[in-house]
Amino acid sequence: MLSADAPNLYTTHQVENQPPPLVDYDAIGSDAALVEGIEREGGGWAIDRLTDFGRRATSEEFIKLGFQANRNRPVLQTHDRIGHRIDEVEFHPAWHELIRIGMEAEAHALPWNHRRPGAHVARAALNYLFFPIESGVGCPLTMTFAGVPVLAKEGAFGDQWVKKLTSTQYDGRNLPVDQKTGALLGMAMTEKQGGSDVRANTTTARPVGQGGRGQEYLLTGHKWFCSAPMCDAFLTLAQTERGLSCFLFPRWLPDGTRNRFFLQRLKDKLGNHSNASSEIEYHDTWAIMIGDEGRGVPTIIEMVQHTRLDCVAGSAGLMRQATAQAVHHAAHRKAFGKLLIDQPAMQNVLADLAIETEAATTLMLRLARAFDAVDDPQEQAFARIATAISKYWVCKRTPQLVAEALECLGGAGYVEESIMPRLYREAPLNSIWEGSGNVMCLDVLRAVSREPESLAAFDAALRKASGADKRLDARITNIQQGLRDQDGIQFRARRLVEQMALALQASLLIHHGDPHVTEAFCASRLAGDHGHVLGTLSRDVHFTHIIERSRSVSQ
């Protein structure tokens, strides 16, 4: 028998040159662009609560919950043990704990519970911190948040739901909503044959009585994507005699029995594994009409607009988390005799990641401020066009950035324990959800042609930095020329919207940003002093300053 002092027979080497985990750090204090933007856009009053949440979100315990929720995927139970149809989804306890944390932090309701300037800015920052660590819970929290302004217009019926949806108490029990302390809202819009073309929906709704807004209907049909099917109620679209209309259907009927909608299967998705997405069928499913008959798309578009804001915030947060992981790794890993962070080729990549992330963060917070300005017509006009522009560009850039950040970790970034594969699988989702890239570009063209006040508000935002940089002035001129030329404009839609997004980011950075970040952004993104991949900045960039500005340090 070996003595306690004997060498371990299984020890073949010392583990060295490995970065420590990036945990337990001040996610707010180490993100200069985020702090500056929160203060600038009116959310400074929430800095303390955001700091506390940021520290919690980077804790080892919180990060572990995210891993657990994704490794233990939701399971569909269509029947109970004796054959009764139940249509329930079972989640790992980590999922429930994350939802509870999110609701307590008001990730689903902060602007509705605190109606003050900067509330949307504060919430966007909260989700920027929250969703990259665990994106799956973001779906029900976002839809609950986005459904509130739609239901708030529906009188007493809507008020009853709003009260439950804005509760900060998570109640995961599958019970009638009047027996619960809080509720979540889902959405079911797209169908197999139509996808984004919701006007091609075939689901029908027939009135139980006289019909019309606030009246009862029975739905028959299907939905190809029902997000978060464990929610307490869902907004959906169906055809009536007057056209596509919006409805709310609950899981439970007013008499305490189960509503008649059936979960067919859960989607086996590329990522977002902790969240259940389902296919469902309606068989005389009881529902209440929301909004006016035949006006389903205009009714639900307000919900869609708010979810698109979350797509931007979530993608900017993914960028930030991926960049933070890359910089942290490079700051602790040596190769060829010195730290990676001190090597010119790696500095170029890290600085480019940081520039892209800072531009996305700055844009996200400016967009959130427009959502706060509900009484300002110009800001509301700006939000209508800038939301589509921002969602298109920030969400499109995220997969490229996350892939490059993953590569900074080498093989260590390709294993699940690093969190990078999960970020990579998550990265394309926001570009697909609530309107893919082409849909966003067509929305921008539609706003330009039908809502001249939106284009005017966008132009006014750009002009705030007019004359400060010739590269931006030239880009603005190109955009104006491109929009005036209607010949083949849909072929050029992506190019135009990309230019609009870059010009808006440049305008914000010129007006508010760090000078070294701004100069590098304008030189590379506007003047073209950049290659086709990240990490191709010119040698005169202030690499060390830009990298240090974005560095997160574990305590």
DSSP 8-state code for residue 251: S
Instruction: Quote the pTM value.
Output: 0.96
Worst-scoring range by mean pLDDT, 3-7, 58-62, 384-388, 549-553? 3-7
Alpha-helix residue ranges (DSSP H) falling in 333-419: 344-372, 377-408
130 SS3 class: helix
- Percentage of the chain surpassing pLDDT 70? 98
Average pLDDT (217-235) is 96
- What's the CATH superfamily of 299-549? Butyryl-CoA Dehydrogenase, subunit A, domain 3 (1.20.140.10)
Distance CA 507, CA 15 (A): 48
Choose among 131, 64, 143, 141: nearest CA to 104.
141
Task: Identify the CA nearest to 160 among candidates 80, 53, 248.
Answer: 248
Three-state DSSP at 43 gives coil
Averaged pLDDT, 172-187: 96
Give the start-to-end residue ranges of the domains of the chain: 32-165, 177-294, 299-549
> Taking all residues of the chain, what is their mean pLDDT, rounded to a whole number?
95
pLDDT over 90 (residue 227):
no
> Sorting pLDDT into bands at 50, 70 and 90, what band is 6?
low
What pLDDT does residue 7 have? 62
pLDDT of residue 466: 86
The pairing of strands 233-240 and 243-250 is antiparallel
Residue 287 in this model has a pLDDT that exceeds 90: yes
Q: In the numeric block, which tokens belong to residue 177?
A: 């909503």
CA distance to 282, 395, 523, per residue, from 85 (Å): 14, 39, 61
pLDDT above 90: residue 377: yes
* Token reading at 178: 């009047």
In this predicted structure, the answer to whether residue 354 has a pLDDT above a threshold of 70 is yes
Report pLDDT for 127.
Answer: 97
CB atoms within 10 A of CB 353: 27
Distance CA 359, CA 503 (A): 11
CA–CA separation, 33 and 27 (whole Å)? 11
What angle, 0 to 180 degrees and rounded to 10, lies between the N-to-C axes of helices 296-332 and 119-130? 50
Predicted confidence (pLDDT) at residue 553 exceeds the cutoff of 80? no
Closest of 538, 375, 366 to residue 460, by C-alpha: 366
**Which of the four pLDDT bands, split at 50, 70 and 90, describes residue 1?**
low
Spatial contact of 267 and 278, defined as CB atoms under 8 Å apart: yes
Residue 2 has pLDDT above 60, yes or no: no
Produce one character per residue of 477-487: b if its CB has 16 or more CB atoms within 10 Å, e if not. Answer: eebeebbeeee
| CATH number for domain 177-294, candidates 2.40.110.20, 2.60.40.10, 2.120.10.70, 3.40.50.2300 | 2.40.110.20
Question: What pLDDT sits at residue 5?
Answer: 60
Specify whether the CB–CB gap between 339 and 331 falls below 8 A: yes
Is the confidence at residue 316, as pLDDT, over 70?
Answer: yes
- pLDDT-derived band at 32 (thresholds 50, 70, 90) equals very high
